[in-house]
Amino acid sequence: MQGFTRHIPNFLTCMNLVCGCLAVVYVFKGEIPVFAALTAASLVLDFLDGFFARMLKAYSPMGKELDSLADMVSFGLVPGAIMHHLFMESVPLNLMLDQPLGKALSFFPFIITVFSALRLAKFNIDTRQTNSFIGLPTPAATIFVTGLALILYNDPLHLTPTLLNSFIIAGICMILSFLLVAELPLIALKFRSFGWNENQYQYSLIFLSIASVLLFKTAGIPLIIILYIILSVMANATASKKPTQSESN
C-alpha cells in the first residue's frame, strides 16, 4: 500500500498535464468555457499534488521535475495560447492578418510562455522560495489571463472594446512577462498556523477575492491577481519595518 501511495502526487501531476494539453486544444477551438474549466482543473490538481506530497512525505527529485514540466504546459503554454487567441481577435491586428507583418506579430503573446519557462527554471534552483515567492507564480499569471478570456465570454461591465485592443493585449503580455521573473517578493497561501496576525494578508486575499468575484463576476478574476500583488507588497513593507531579533535586543 505504501508503494502505491507514493505515486499519488506524480499521478495528480500527470493529470494536471493532461488537463493542460486539452486546454490548449480548446483554446485554438475558441471554446472559452471549456478551456477555462480545464485550466481550473489544472490549478486544483497542481495544489493537490503538492498537498499529497507533503501529507504522504512522498518527495522525490523526479516529482519536482515532473511538476515543473506539467506546469510549463498548463501554466506556460496555455496562457500564451490564450493571449495569442485574444490577440488575433483584437484591433487593429485583426485587420493586418493577411499581411506578413501582421502574421508575425500575432505570435508575440507567446512571450508569456518563454518567460514562464524562465520563471519555472529559476524557481527550481532558487532556495529563497520555500515559504514565499519571488516573482509572479505561473498559476497566478494563468488565472489572470483566463479571467480576461472569461470577461470576453460574459461581459456585464462592457469591457470587451477595451480589452480587444492590440496595444492593450501586447502591454499586458509584457507586464506579465516582467512580473514572472521580477525580484518581487510575493506571499504564498501556505498556512503554518491559522492565527490572524501570522496570516492577515493571506486571509485578506481570500476575503477580497470572494468579494471581487461576487461584485464584478468574471471581471473580478483578473482583479484577484492585482490584489495579490498589492497585498504582497504591503506584507513585504510591513515585514521590513519589523525590528530584527538583534535590533530588539
Burial class (CB in 10 A: 0-12, 13-18, 19+), 233: middle
Among 1.20.120, 1.20.1530, 1.10.3210, 1.10.287, name the CATH number for the domain at 2-238: 1.20.120
The pLDDT value recorded for residue 246 is 46
Q: Pick from 127, 120, 129, 3: which is nearest to 67 by CA?
A: 120
The sign one gets for the Cα dihedral 128, 132, 134, 139 is: positive
User: In the beta sheet, which residues pair with residue 133?
Assistant: 186
C-alpha separations of 173 from 27, 87, 89, 91, 116 in Å: 17, 10, 15, 16, 11
- Which regions of 54-200 does DSSP assign to beta strands (E)? 133-134, 185-186
Averaged pLDDT in 10-residue chunks for the chain of 249 residues = 73 96 96 96 93 80 88 97 96 91 94 96 82 90 96 89 95 97 88 73 93 93 95 86 54
State the pLDDT at residue 242.
Answer: 65
3-class secondary-structure state, position 158: coil
In this prediction the pTM is 0.91
Phi, psi (rounded to 5 degrees) for 91: -105, 135
Domain boundaries, the chain: 2-238
Task: Please give the C-alpha separations between residue 209 and each of 65, 96, 136, 201, 203, in angstroms, as whole numbers.
Answer: 31, 38, 17, 12, 10
d(CA 239, CA 104): 45
